Amino acid sequence: ETGVTQTPRHLVMGMTNKKSLKCEQHLGHNAMYWYKQSAKKPLELMFVYSLEERVENNSVPSRFSPECPNSSHLFLHLHTLQPEDSALYLCASSPGGGYEKLFFGSGTQLSVL
Amino acid sequence: EDQVTQSPEALRLQEGESSSLNCSYTVSGLRGLFWYRQDPGKGPEFLFTLYSAGEEKEKERLKATLTKKESFLHITAPKPEDSATYLCAVQAATSGTYKYIFGTGTRLKVLA
């Protein structure tokens, strides 16, 4: 399998649930990202990991908790979300070092009821 | 404040009707300007990177150009399969190594 793979593709959860989004990249990249995409809004950067170390945390609420166990895997742990958190969550990777294009997964469409 | 604005928000073209999408930016120190294509239900897919004013890149029916204030994505004789949302993003020197500033995109619909 190649590229960036995200699971699940769709997720519906209640406000009291705990769930996790998974991302795996098969490109040998060193940097991985979580973005949030809402209708008619620009992509919002949430977190960046470089060589498994978090290098960006864009003032994201604590109900979103990232985890990067190695350079190929990235998780986003979700708990007590709000309806306004419903969005498409995209994972991306890049070789690392800046000045680079991003390789995106297909995203997880999250609905919070 | 670093900013990226794309226009128009939506565009409908007849097959074969050429047009241009605009991405205007205000950044302190441009490191790179990126164009992506996003199909419904999928993540953005990289198209081009431009680094300096005057630079041009081409791929099939698409041509991207860059000035000091804006970038254009020219679509020549589009086909229905070119229908997608086109996103522009800039990487600015002031926003950190890994931070990209995205526009809201242009939704393109090409009618057969």
Question: In B67-105, which ranges are E strands?
Answer: 70-75, 84-92, 100-102
Instruction: Tell me the average pLDDT across A82-100.
Output: 89
Three-state DSSP at A85 gives helix
Q: Which residues on chain A are in Cβ contact (under 8 Å) with B29?
A: none
B104 touches chain A (CB under 8 A): yes
**Contact at CB, A104 and B104, closer than 8 angstroms:** no
Q: Encoding tokens for residue A54?
A: 């978090």
User: Does residue A5 surpass a pLDDT of 60?
Assistant: yes
- What pLDDT is attached to residue A98? 66
Instruction: Give the pLDDT confidence score for residue B20 in this predicted structure.
Output: 98
Specify whether the CB–CB gap between B111 and A47 falls below 8 A. no
Q: Which residue of A has its CA nearest to B91?
A: A99
Whether residue B31 and residue A42 make contact (CB cut-off 8 A), yes or no, is no
Name the closest residue on chain A to residue B32, using Cα atoms. A99
pLDDT at B33: 95
Question: What's the mean pLDDT in A67-94?
Answer: 95
Question: Which of B49, B100, B101 to mutate to test binding with chain A, by most A CBs within 10 Å of its CB?
Answer: B100
Q: What is the pLDDT of residues B40-65, one digit of tens each?
A: 989 999 999 999 999 999 999 999 99
What was the pLDDT predicted at A27? 94
Ranges of chain B whose pLDDT falls below 50: none
Which of A21, A43, A91 to mutate against chain B (most B CBs within 10 Å)?
A43
Q: Tell me if residue B80 falls in helix, strand or coil.
A: helix
Q: B97 to chain A nearest CA, in Å? A: 5
- With beta carbons under 8 A apart, name residues in chain A contacting B98: 31, 33, 48, 50, 55-56, 94, 98
Sort out which chain A residues have CB atoms less than 8 A from B104's CB and list them: 40-42
> What number of CA atoms fall less than 13 Å from residue B2's CA on the CB side?
19
Distance from CA of A77 to the nearest CA of B (A): 20
Task: Look at residue A75 in the predicted model and tell me its pLDDT.
Answer: 98
Q: Which residue of A has its CA nearest to B50?
A: A99
What sign for the dihedral angle of Cα B20, B65, B75, A99?
Answer: negative
pLDDT score for A2: 67
Under the banding of pLDDT at 50, 70 and 90, the label for residue A97 is low
Task: Among A43, A48, A106, select the one facing B102 at the smallest CB separation.
Answer: A43
pLDDT of residue A1 exceeding 70 = no
Task: Give per-residue pLDDT as tens, A24-72.
Answer: 999 999 999 999 999 989 999 999 998 888 887 778 999 999 999 999 9
- Reduced to 3 states (helix: H, G, I; strand: E, B; else coil), residue A83 is helix
Task: Report the side by side order of strands in the sheet with A73-79.
Answer: A4-7, A18-25, A73-79, A64-70
